[in-house]
Chains A and B, each alone.
Chain A
Amino acid sequence: KQEVTQIPAALSVPEGENLVLNCSFTDSAIYNLQWFRQDPGKGLTSLLLIQSSQREQTSGRLNASLDKSSGRSTLYIAASQPGDSATYLCAPVGSGTYKYIFGTGTRLKVLA
């Protein structure tokens, strides 16, 4: 059974800092892995998707890496801004099941 852990659970930083959010998963048989953000009480917004054959993906100030064999993914946020404040979720998609297993998230607060 896939278990997903995200560290840290919460993070509060001043604006402008570079951040690293960690995600680990127990079953490396994944089809892909996706990072989402969730604003309070809202749905999910997709940030980055990494295929199982890829090592990393970049979009603007965001970079996500994937080490499937060790069951780890990292989301790097450069030059953080108050608008980045949200909960960040990682979700590996299981090969054969095609369903997301979500981590408990990292709650980020960027202070102006």
Chain B
Amino acid sequence: EAGVTQSPTHLIKTRGQQATLRCSPISGHTSVYWYQQALGLGLQFLLWYDEGEERNRGNFPPRFSGRQFPNYSSELNVNALELEDSALYLCASNGGILVETQYFGPGTRLLVL
């Protein structure tokens, strides 16, 4: 069974541009979570989507947004990129509310120049 996949693996952008990161959950999983791991900082929760709806949001500005598609894959969009957005972005999935363990993808490393 395929795990959580993310694309691209690496992304280089310049300040002010927009970045789009993609995540495909494990087959059958309906929830997708996004986390940011900036250099020297811990993992921080960004967004949680379940059944196509945003369920929870971390303490990030509105230029971080996303969506979940009918096939439960998800997209994270970061607008007006800033240097401090450079980070590893991890996606995780599970079977939905009250289901245990989130399964993590390998991440997308975003570098903003």
Which residues of chain A have a CB within 8 Å of any CB of chain B? Answer: 32, 34, 36, 41-46, 49, 51, 89, 91, 97-105
CB of A84, distance to nearest CB on chain B (Å): 19
CB pair B56–A89 under 8 Å, yes or no, is: no
CB pair A49–B101 under 8 Å, yes or no, is: yes
CB pair A46–B103 under 8 Å, yes or no, is: yes
Q: Which residues of A contact B107 (CB under 8 A)?
A: 41-43
B105 interface residue per 8 A CB criterion: yes
User: Binary interface profile of B, 91-108, with partner A (CB < 8 Å = 1, else 0)?
Assistant: 010000110111111110
Within 8 A of A (CB), among B35-52: 35, 41-45, 48
B110 interface residue per 8 A CB criterion: no
Query: Which interface residue of B33, B35, B102 has the most chain A CB atoms within 10 A?
Result: B102
One of B4, B33, B101, B106 near A99 (C-beta < 8 A): B33
